């Protein structure tokens, strides 16, 4: 059985940079959706009064 010691490889840094860039929560999209829903709700309430 081989030893379980991990040694960093050359490609590991590139993979980590890629994952840091790609793997994140879409906070901008969530904020935009909440703002759009708020505006839509407000418009429905204002139009519904007339």
pLDDT of residue 45: 95
Structure-token match 């759009």, residue found: 36
Q: Which token pair is 50?
A: 């007339």
Each residue's pLDDT tens digit, 1-50: 777 888 888 898 899 999 998 888 899 999 999 999 999 999 999 999 87
pLDDT of residue 40: 97
Which residue from 26, 25, 28 is spatially nearest to 36, judged by alpha carbons?
28
pLDDT of residue 34: 98
Q: Within a domain: residue 31?
A: yes
Structure-token match 């429905």, residue found: 44
Q: What is the C-alpha to C-alpha distance for residues 12 and 10, in angstroms, rounded to an integer?
A: 6
Q: Within a domain: residue 2?
A: no
Q: Within a domain: residue 19?
A: no
pLDDT of residue 3: 78
pLDDT of residue 50: 77
Q: Within a domain: residue 36?
A: yes
Q: Within a domain: residue 8?
A: no
């Amino acid at each position: 059985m081989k030893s379980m010691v991990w040694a960093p490889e050359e490609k590991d840094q590139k993979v980590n940079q890629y994952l840091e860039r790609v793997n994140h929560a879409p906070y901008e999209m969530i904020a935009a959706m909440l703002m759009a829903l708020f505006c839509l709700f407000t418009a429905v309430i204002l139009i519904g009064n007339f």
